[in-house]
Structure 1
């Protein structure tokens, strides 16, 4: 089953004020979306770059039941929902400085998409054909020690996508999970090396959604990470664990 064509679609994007979220807004409009609803936590402080796109700002904190319910009413004509909002607390999981950091990451990265899918599933079902796109990470496919609670939350969201797909397929709704590597965003500002253009991630993700792909590795880092994991999972995980101590030397934590 293929996803919804972007041209003429009505698209909701969470975490739309910058980075990958803003790129999805820009790319959807460039591909002819009829309307893009830009989910932001504070509509009174929308960045000029987002306002310039012509998207419709919508108050949408994915950790708020009230915000999500209101957005489902405001965006009642939606046909595509991009669950992009994310949180990386930058803390360890076991030896955490803030023991509540992992809970906050799970609230945004897992329960946020779950709230959105529960609220918008009836909206897409009424349209007769709809698509969810969940923006995840290479940290979802293997335990990534140096990313603390972020990795488990994205892994949970990956399974969420598969379960939602099984439940919603009978309504003509598709679910595509994007495995994203290193992207040139504020979240990855501390990362050295090549970083992908957020617009390229959005372009690749929307194309995968339209083809009806279940999971898509959006960039070279994601593809290579999956290949290394498949060849030697123990070595791959150990390599990720070593990066924990490299980052510790840099930050002093």
Structure 2
């Protein structure tokens, strides 16, 4: 589908990748952009702010009732707590699952009928290359993103008959507040948002947003020991 004159809802739209989605949707001529954030305080000319915590089912239902004209849903909101799955606080692990998996799941369930009524449309899930590997300090995040990847595939299959395109966006590090303390190569939020929007307009189902995502995806046929040897070698620069 084309984004010119489309009605789009973006979660986590107040900063980083979400803010870039909003800016580029305006450039591509979207007729209406619902910019969702937990405080609903987004002040961007020509954009309709929505107060939406995607872990709150009541707020999700209210958003669906208020935005019944949506044609494209961009599930971008996410968190990272840096929690280990073995020694970490279970409450933090649940927070990541609630935000990174159950949030997009509940949004999809609420908006799938709306997309159907409006011609099919598209869903974009911002996932991560960490859906395909993990690190000791990112166990909870990786588990939640692996679940989000499976959600994306399941959604694509289940909504095929109603003509809804489902795009999974995978990437390594993006230059946002979430990665501010990490000294490593990063891609810009603008380039990732552009790749996600290009996928909608070209009918592409999956975006590998950078070389790291491509490397990780390419190793999925290897054994775990081979795969992690390859990844750790790449991380160390050897």
TM over 0.5: yes
Corresponding residue of 2:191: 200
**Residue of structure 2 equivalent to 1:249:** none
Partner of 2:81: 89
Does residue 127 in structure 1 map to residue 118 in structure 2?
A: yes
In the alignment, what sits opposite 1:37?
A: 34
**Equivalent position of 2:94 in the other structure:** 103
Q: Which residue of 1 aligns with 2:50?
A: 58
- Selected match of 2:166 from 172, 175, 198: 175
Alignment of 1:1-253 (within 5 A): 4-43=1-40, 45-46=41-42, 51-96=43-88, 98-230=89-221, 233-238=224-229
Higher helix share: 1
TM-score normalised to the size of structure 2? 0.92
TM-score relative to the length of structure 1: 0.87
Task: State the shift of 1:239 in Å.
Answer: 6.6
CA distance in 2, matches of 1:237, 1:163: 27
Within 1, Cα distance between the matches of 2:220 and 2:136?
Answer: 15
Q: Residue 16 of structure 1 contacts residue 85 of structure 1 at CA under 8 Å; is this kept in 2?
A: yes
RMSD: 2.1
Q: For 2:139 and 2:233, how far apart are their aligned partners in 1?
A: 13
Aligned partners of 2:232 and 2:61: how far apart in 1?
Answer: 40
- SS of the residue corresponding to residue 149 of structure 1 reads helix
- CA shift in 2, pair 1:199/1:134, >3 Å: same
Aligned residues, how many? 236
The alignment partner of 1:12 has SS state of strand
Preserved contact between residue 10 and residue 79 of structure 1 (Cα < 8 Å):
yes
**Structure 1: gaps (5+ residues):** 247-253
